[in-house]
């Protein structure tokens, strides 16, 4: 099952720069969490246990492979809120795999996709 939000995910470097007020970070996190909640509600799929593969599509500059972790964490929390997964602990989510970001052209949409694969 694929869940895609069309926006450029923010990165750990952005979080660590410290040039934004905490309330701006909170709003960004809430936006992504709510977006993936809505995607989870729309798909109406439930997994007791799943692995997640992260696909990121960005224009230049392309981030490091795991740099978009803050956006991914918010996205996973949104899927948990929607009931797609009962939780994000190792019991329900034993693995998260980050693929290297893919560079897209100026005419393409930046996006983050979470691919959930059911696990026994």
The H or E element spanning position 45 is none
Closest CA to 31 of 58, 7, 53: 7
pLDDT of residue 111: 97
Computed from CA positions of residues 30, 31, 35, 36, in that sequence, does the dihedral angle turn out positive or negative? negative
* pLDDT tens track for 51-81: 999 999 999 888 899 999 999 999 999 999 9
Which of these ranges, 12-16, 38-42, 66-70, 87-91, has the smallest mean pLDDT? Answer: 12-16
Domains of the chain: 2-118 (3.30.1330)
Please state whether the peptide bond connecting residue 78 to the residue before it is cis, i.e. omega within 30 degrees of 0: no
Separation between Cα atoms, residue 115 and residue 53, nearest integer Å? 5
- Percentage of the chain with pLDDT > 70? 91
The answer to pTM > 0.85 is yes
Three-state DSSP class for 25?
helix
Q: Are 82 and 37 in contact (CB under 8 A)?
A: yes
* Higher pLDDT among residues 58 and 12, named by residue: 58
**Bridging pattern class, strands 102-103 and 2-5:** unpaired
């Amino acid at each position: 099952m694929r869940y895609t939000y069309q926006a450029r995910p923010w990165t750990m470097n952005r979080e660590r720069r410290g040039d934004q007020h905490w309330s701006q970070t909170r709003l960004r996190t809430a936006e992504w969490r709510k977006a993936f909640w809505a995607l989870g509600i729309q798909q109406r799929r439930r997994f007791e246990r799943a692995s997640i593969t992260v696909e990121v599509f960005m224009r230049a500059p392309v981030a490091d492979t795991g740099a978009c972790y803050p956006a991914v964490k918010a996205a996973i929390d949104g899927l948990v809120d929607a009931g797609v997964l009962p939780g994000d602990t190792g019991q329900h989510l034993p693995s998260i795999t980050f693929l290297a970001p893919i560079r897209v052209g100026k005419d393409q949409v930046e996006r983050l996709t979470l691919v959930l694969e059911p696990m026994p």
